[in-house]
Amino acid sequence: MNTVIERCKPRKLVGDRDRGQLVTRDIRRDNRLTVALRGSVIVPYRRFVIETLKSPPEILDALESQVEQGSSAMLSTSTGRTDSAHTFVGELSVDRFKIRRKIGYRNSFLPMINGVVTPMDDGARVVVTIMPHVFVVLFMCVWMSIATFAAVAGLTALILHGDLVGLATLILPAFGTLLMLIGFVPEAKKGEIFIRALIPPKQPPYLVGPYR
């Protein structure tokens, strides 16, 4: 996998607040949140790579200080209590993590943040993938397939017979796509900012893997 390094002038980071501002600026500048076409469904996801001076045990310690230990495997539309000191919950180990943000509202498209940590001579390499829960992806594959079929049928009726009702069927796939993006993209941005601030790179700019 080829790696693209974004070049910019070096910037000095002073404290967590400045690092958080830098993270936010870099994400806004390079916010090409992937929309990958898979069959007849649009599945948004984001993948990036961070090379850090932190060792895998140090990364685990940093995550444990900010992430509440708990199951992230279940499909949950609400993560319950949000009044604790931790804003994320999930499963952590020295070589991988799987977390999601704790929210106080229902969101079936809440992103799952999966990370794989590989030790290096001078730190570690972390590959992070942010995408909806697999059950949501499977459901949207089925739903969008049906919606797309209905839209094609409606468009055909409009062209051949002038049936204006066919225009209404075009709303179905657009609505499904919009619903997923609205529920996923804002939360994915928050998750990426959290990870990038918690696992600082060796030096800015960040090492970003190709979008898929």
Q: pLDDT of 10-62, one tens digit each?
A: 334 434 444 444 444 444 444 444 443 333 345 678 899 999 999 999 999 99
Structure tokens at 165: 């009702």
pLDDT score, position 82: 52
pLDDT score, position 87: 86
- Decide: pTM greater than 0.75: no
pLDDT score, position 210: 43
The partner residues of 35 in beta bridges, in order of sequence, read 44
Cβ contact 123:111 at 8 Å: no
Q: How far apart are CA 104 and CA 78, in angstroms?
A: 6
**What residue ranges of the chain have pLDDT lower than 50?**
1-41, 74-80, 206-212
DSSP letter, residue 118: E
Q: How far apart are CA 96 and CA 143, in angstroms?
A: 32
Q: What separation in angstroms does the CA of 181 have from each of 96, 172, 197?
A: 26, 14, 24
Phi/psi for 127 (5° steps) reads -105, 120
Structure tokens at 22: 């830098």
Q: What share of the chain is helix, strand, coil (3-state, %, to 5)?
A: 40, 25, 35
Q: Count CB neighbours of 186 within 10 A.
A: 13
- Is the alpha carbon torsion for 207, 59, 131, 212 positive or negative? positive
Q: Count CB neighbours of 34 within 10 A.
A: 15
Cβ contact 205:6 at 8 Å: yes
DSSP letter, residue 165: T
